[in-house]
Structure 1
């Protein structure tokens, strides 16, 4: 592979072509900013959106990785700045008489709205509208809003835990998602945000938590999580303490499931897993031993089976129900160490 970089994001395997658009609501940092993935009508020669939306995000990624913005941001821009997502940019929405179920997707610390395009577009190809939020609470590597009077963007950087503050109390205040539709999903810090959303928003029916960082979840909230959660863990990230919190939730709700994908690392559930080339993989520790396309298949099919069950969908996603029990190639029930350590 050498030092060259390329992004080979897969097209969705479902029956629908996928469209994509950015949505910004409001002119303050309290407004919403998201990337919408949705079933669309096929369109010849459709434009494909850039994976890294603006150069400023290269600087944000450099800052988050604790690397020099001066050299790392231009390097990232050259290496991955021209990569595009295989979806139709602002493609015409495909009408649906019954309405598409909605998934709210919450990114992890230091990420932003486009870094989970692979899983979001895969779910959209199976008939979901997926709203990938970009948080403005300093948990994104960088983001922005457009003040009405200024005529230009105001940028919001990622914020580390201030010296002298405990990380639990700092992170616990971030990522309040106040949305009321159907299902919520997220990765890492966004995974625990999805769990918390079940407490705060009765409109959510269930949550899918990808390698959830359970640390910010207060112990007092466990009895209050009212709906089922699907925890899809990677092999190399979780700790016994984090898995103990997941097990606590599953002991209270028999529909809460915990599975682990073997051969995967924390970044395997982001688009970074699909980058080829040693440079970016070294910076972001993106590669496990499992083929990333296979990892995406397991993640998306388990999520679809779970969503069919708890959103009462009339699809054939139950063909993948075995994955919810950890039955299948490269997947196991619970966590790699939880039987022996917990």
Structure 2
């Protein structure tokens, strides 16, 4: 079954140290909000960010899960102390160009819920931009409006001289004169059909992913951008360090269908990795044309005969579309929750299957890297895991398992 499960996120195994920062470029709702994982210089003392960046996200999760508000402090007690094993705002390793992955979260999630996958990929020499969507599919998110005269105070743990601190950091520090506006997740009304809402959200999500690529393209070209957060990594350090010829999408559930749609619409993205993709938001029109290059990595317990048939309809267009299933996995096996929940919470929310959580995530990470090498023409040795892309190995099958 692999290593003994422990309630923390694993450190990265790749050859690069991993840094992390948040960008909110254009503080309004129409701007871009993402968490950046990137190769960084080694630092003696690292500032680990909290896994749940703000208490408000606990409230958002409780609201999304339709639990009592009394559950908010309990959720914060269970997860509020967890940190991500990366160096917050560590110096960017500006010694080469890195391929870029834009990551899209699932319904009811937010930018830090897939930290284990994102930081592991970054440790192998990628810049990973995890979008926080403002289509009201996130458990909660926020933007700022201008509030003249309102000046936010710096939290005590902020180091004015930029010296790294071992204290976990949260919340973000906004520029003076900005006021937070929080967006809760939108819920279906009684009797409301789901497809129109989700398809509208999908279109906004696609636009937001392309906008993040636009933003990072501008930064790579040396254009000045203004981060709403004070004291975070200066965007200008990424100049000439992003390989814009090697860009891919990745996402889970709603983020999986978002990734499929992005690659079909924006040719700058060369391929997509769709983790347990939720196929409902995709319109019928999607299946009438070549969608591009997509790698579907499915859990054993989420997909149905209908959704698998939709994936196979897309696969009929070209032989670059791959479908594999991780046996013993559930939908939440692709998120950090599978690593951070004990047996009791796992039973309540089905965050674990029968496969060891770390082993399942390692399959996802290695298969993803092998697929990216193949379709981004990377000069790496990730092809050592090519068999996984074909569905060959322990705990995986090509296509879908026999339906019981």
What's the TM-score, normalizing by structure 1?
0.94
Asked if structure 2 preserves the Cα contact closer than 8 Å seen for 1:183 and 1:207, the reply is yes
Q: Distance in 2 between matches of 1:105 and 1:12?
A: 18
- Are the equivalent residues in 1 in contact too, given 2:105–2:132 (CA < 8 A)? yes
Which residue number in structure 2 is paired with residue 189 of structure 1? 254
Deviates further, 218-227 or 108-117: 218-227
CA–CA distance in 1 between the matches of 2:386 and 2:360?
16
Cross-structure match for 1:303: 368
Match of 1:158 among 177, 180, 185: 185
Q: Return the alpha-carbon distance in structure 1 between the equivalents of residues 95 and 319 of structure 2.
A: 33
- Cα separation, 1, equivalents of 2:114 and 2:60: 16
Q: Which moved more, 1:177-186 or 1:326-335?
A: 177-186
1:253 is displaced (CA, Å) by 1.1
Identify which range, 277-286 or 39-48, moves more after superposition.
277-286
What pairs up with 1:94-113 in 2 under 5 angstroms? Answer: 94-97=93-96, 99-113=97-111
Matched with 2:135 is 137
Gapped regions of structure 1 (runs ≥ 5): none
The 2-side partners of 1:228 and 1:87 are apart by: 31
Match of 2:282 among 197, 217, 228: 217
Deviations 1:143-197 (A, max 9, x none): 0001133632100000012233210111001043231561000000110000000
Q: Which residue does the alignment assign to 1:323? A: 388
Does the 8 Å contact 1:272/1:284 carry over to 2? no
- Between the aligned partners of 1:278 and 1:185, the Cα distance in structure 2 is 29
Deviation for aligned residue 1:120: 0.3
- Kindly provide the CA deviation profile for residues 217-255 of structure 1, in whole angstroms up to 9, marking residues without a partner as x: 112112334421000000100011110110011111101
Q: CA deviation at 1:216?
A: 1.3
TM-score normalised according to structure 2 size = 0.80
Cα drift, residue 292 of structure 1: 1.0
Instruction: Report the aligned-residue RMSD.
Output: 1.6
**Distance (Å, rounded) in 2 between the aligned partners of 1:235 and 1:26:** 40
In structure 2, the partner of 1:59 is 59
Mapping 1:28-67, distance limit 5 Å: 28-67=28-67
Please, which runs of 5 or more residues in structure 2 have no aligned partner?
Answer: 148-176, 214-243
In 2 relative to 1, CA 159–114 (structure 1 residues): closer, same or farther, beyond 3 Å? same
Cα gap change, 1:237 to 1:332, in 2 (>3 Å): same
Counterpart for residue 342 of structure 2: 277
Name whichever of 212-221 and 257-266 sits farther off. Answer: 212-221
The higher radius of gyration belongs to: 2
Task: Give distance in 2, aligned partners of 1:234 and 1:284.
Answer: 16
Distance across 2 between alignment mates of 1:40 and 1:224? 40
Shift in Å at residue 336 of structure 1? 1.2
- C-alpha displacement of 1:198: 1.2
The equivalences for 1:238-317 within 5 A come to 238-317=303-382
Residue 87 (structure 1) aligns with: 86
- Quick check: 1:198–1:225 contact (8 Å CA) kept in 2? no
1:6 Cα shift?
A: 7.1
Q: Is the 8 A contact 1:144 1:155 kept in 2?
A: yes
SS at match of 2:387: helix
What is the SS of the residue equivalent to 2:274? strand
Q: How far off is 1:271 after superposition?
A: 0.1
CA-to-aligned-CA distance 1:259-315 (integer Å, 9 cap, x gap): 000110000000001014234324432111111111111001111011111111110
CA contact (8 A) 1:243 1:335 kept: yes
The equivalent position to 2:397 in structure 1, one of 309, 312, 332, is: 332
**SS of 1:102 mapped into structure 2:** strand
Cα distance 1:196–1:259, how it changes in 2: closer, same or farther (>3 A)? same
Q: Name the CA distance, whole Å, in 2 between partners of 1:229 and 1:49.
A: 32
* Paired position in structure 1 for 2:24: 24
